[in-house]
Amino acid sequence: MLNLFEVIETNNMIEHERLDVRTITMGISLLDCCDSDLDTVNNKIYEKITRYARDLVSTGEAIARDFGVPIVNKRISVTPISLVGGCACKSPKDFVAIACTLDRAAHEVGVNFIGGYSALVSKGMTDADKNLILSIPQAMACTERVCSSVNVGSTKTGLNMDAVRLMGEMVLDTAKATKDQDSLGCAKLVVFCNAPDDNPFMAGAFHGVTEADAIINVGVSGPGVVKVALEKARGENFEVLCETIKKTAFKITRVGQLVAQEASRRLGVPFGIIDLSLAPTPAVGDSVAEILEEIGLERVGAPGTTAALAMLNDQVKKGGVMASSYVGGLSGAFIPVSEDQGMIDAVTEGALSLEKLEAMTCVCSVGLDMIAIPGDTTSSTIAGIIADEAAIGMINQKTTAVRVIPVIGKTVGDTVEFGGLLGYAPVMPVNPYSCEKFVSRGGRIPAPIHSFKN
Amino acid sequence: MNKVIITVVGKDTVGIIARVCTYLSEKNVNVLDISQTIVQEYFNMMMIADINQATVPFEEIYTRLEALGEEIGVKIHCQREEIFTKMHRI
């Protein structure tokens, strides 16, 4: 039977160490909403989302109450819209109409984000893909809750450099289209390499075409719990450190597994995966950077940061996989700048640079995330940043992503406030030298040699 | 069996367990186990209870217990047992 100390430990994690389930994300296939008439597509999409997700928010809240664990976000991911709208949409403007429908459906069912305004163009672009990509700036400007992602490469296909160049332009255009809100639109736009089909986390969630009609994916969190556990292992060797992280990750993930199974049962929707991610929030004590500092770094960004992060990421996975029957999504430590107080402090103090962050993305999920850069950064430089990050993903057979925010009208030294879970960020300097000729070449970077495994 | 865990954390005072148990017995909730300790000067109590034969739904039990905690000046939580067993048992 349970003992008092186990119960106290769990409740302390929830009350004092910010243990929560970060998101229950319902994936909904919209492939059966395809039609050649745009109004029909919009009606079908709205009807299906509001029917399937009608009880998502209330069920999430009921589970949170029953188990006494907060479930922070209830969200929806849908089939990449370039596939759903391809037949009906003849122009970027047509796709924007679908974005508005998604936004309306999200408001109706009460979810705070809906992901899947996406195109998968790792090898080439159809006309529909291109129209969707061109519509992103306007779609991000005229919707509140829609998240967009574009997959521009994979280990199997190489990098679509035409798409990379185009996305450099679209990130900048999205920043301009939402400049009244400190370029907030870019916080809802991710450029991926090796994007997973079952990621529950925003802004990169979409419901892949390999998935069932509907599915429940759950993202867990708990940097604060890991940090507090490590405080008790100060001065111990790496073996003790790793054991502590693994045990803690196991416990955190079990809560996610429980919530996922319960949500699946109550909603009558199959369980998909648990995403084993350490997802920070701007709150003090809920920070991945603070874990790295607890491991022994004066500040994140100091030499040793990449090694510490690699170890943390690996131990989280090793502890987590045993706690869940199905693990997927991004699964790793997140290192967003604006959403992590320790990261913000490290950048402000000059300890952490864009280049160090890039190195860190080689060993953890996901990529350059929530990084504010000067508003006068050129589209080719942004494309270069995307290409670098995508190359890391392609060569290392992992997911990488770029979510940078060129803040129009702001420059290094300024701070930008996004609000809520998105936090705030100091604008970071970008290498001033040009890569214009490189990204303008056009075509594809071929798949790496180790992708030929057949 | 439909087990819940009731926890009480706060400053020790006369009659905490009595008041919680009185409420539970009124609603036909069967208490299976009680343990308590003092951690860092705080009174910590845990009760394992079976609500299978309860006369009111679980939602009402935890809402009422939380309110009772406020009356006494302690924190009372009532959670389904699975969150603890999942976390601490393989």
Give the tens place of pLDDT for each residue, A45-82.
Answer: 999 999 999 999 999 999 999 999 999 999 999 999 99
Among candidates B37, B45, B77 on the partner chain, residue whose Cβ is nearest the Cβ of A68? B77
Closest Cα in chain A, distance from residue B44 (Å): 8
Please state the rounded mean pLDDT for residues B17-39.
Answer: 92
Q: How many Cβ atoms from other residues are within 10 Å of residue A355's Cβ? A: 12
Q: Which residue of B has its CA nearest to A65?
A: B79
Closest Cα in chain B, distance from residue A199 (Å): 24
Which chain B residues touch A6 with a CB distance below 8 Å?
Answer: 84, 87-88
Contact A67 B82 (CB under 8 A): yes
Rounded distance between C-alpha atoms, residue A68 and residue B85, angstroms? 14
Number of A–B residue contacts, CB under 8 Å: 61
Q: Are A99 and A87 in contact (CB under 8 A)?
A: no
Contact A68 B48 (CB under 8 A): no
Does A11 contact B at CB distance below 8 Å?
yes
Does A258 contact B at CB distance below 8 Å?
yes
Among all chains, which residue has been given the structure tokens 């997802």? Answer: A279
Confidence of residue A1 (pLDDT cuts 50, 70, 90): confident
Rounded distance between C-alpha atoms, residue A277 and residue A330, angstroms? 7
The residues near A202 (Cβ < 8 Å, ≥ 6 apart) are A23, A73, A75, A113, A115, A147, A188
Mean pLDDT score of chain A: 94
pLDDT at A92: 97
Domains of chain B: 3-88 (3.30.70.260)
Please state the rounded mean pLDDT for residues B60-86.
Answer: 93
Length of chain B: 90
Contact A8 B39 (CB under 8 A): yes
Please state the rounded mean pLDDT for residues A212-227.
Answer: 93
Closest Cα in chain A, distance from residue B40 (Å): 12
Among candidates A7, A65, A258 on the partner chain, residue whose Cβ is nearest the Cβ of B5? A7
ipTM (interface pTM): 0.90
Cis amide prior to A347 (ω within 30 degrees):
no
Contact A4 B81 (CB under 8 A): no
Contact A7 B83 (CB under 8 A): no
Rounded distance between C-alpha atoms, residue A359 and residue A343, angstroms? 15
The residues near B78 (Cβ < 8 Å, ≥ 6 apart) are A68, B4, B5, B6, B7, B58, B61, B62, B65, B66
Closest Cα in chain B, distance from residue A109 (Å): 23
Q: Are A397 and A194 in contact (CB under 8 A)?
A: yes
pLDDT at A146: 97
pLDDT tens-digit map of A77-107: 999 999 999 999 999 999 999 999 999 999 9
Which chain B residues touch A251 with a CB distance below 8 Å?
Answer: 87-88
Among candidates A11, A67, A254 on the partner chain, residue whose Cβ is nearest the Cβ of B80? A67
Among candidates B48, B78, B87 on the partner chain, residue whose Cβ is nearest the Cβ of A10? B87
Domains of chain A: 20-193 (3.20.70.20)
Confidence of residue A222 (pLDDT cuts 50, 70, 90): confident
pLDDT at A2: 86
Confidence of residue A22 (pLDDT cuts 50, 70, 90): very high
Which positions 392-431 of A are in contact with B (Cβ < 8 Å)? none
Residue A122 in this model has a pLDDT that exceeds 80: yes
Q: Are A425 and A418 in contact (CB under 8 A)?
A: yes
Contact B86 A65 (CB under 8 A): no
Alpha helices (runs of H) in A208-287, residue ranges in sequence order = 223-231, 238-267
**Residue A215 identity:** I
Confidence of residue B43 (pLDDT cuts 50, 70, 90): confident
Rounded distance between C-alpha atoms, residue A116 and residue A132, angstroms? 11
Q: Are A174 and A186 in contact (CB under 8 A)?
A: yes
Among candidates A3, A8, A68 on the partner chain, residue whose Cβ is nearest the Cβ of B79? A68
B→A interface, C-beta within 8 Å: 5, 7, 9, 33, 35-37, 39, 44-46, 48, 58-59, 62, 77-88, 90
Does A1 contact B at CB distance below 8 Å?
yes
pLDDT tens-digit map of A344-364: 999 999 999 999 999 999 998
pTM of structure: 0.93
pLDDT at B42: 84
pLDDT at A136: 97
**Residue A174 identity:** T
Rounded distance between C-alpha atoms, residue A181 and residue A141, angstroms? 9
Contact B7 A11 (CB under 8 A): yes
Confidence of residue A365 (pLDDT cuts 50, 70, 90): confident
pLDDT at A394: 96
Residue A216 in this model has a pLDDT that exceeds 90: yes
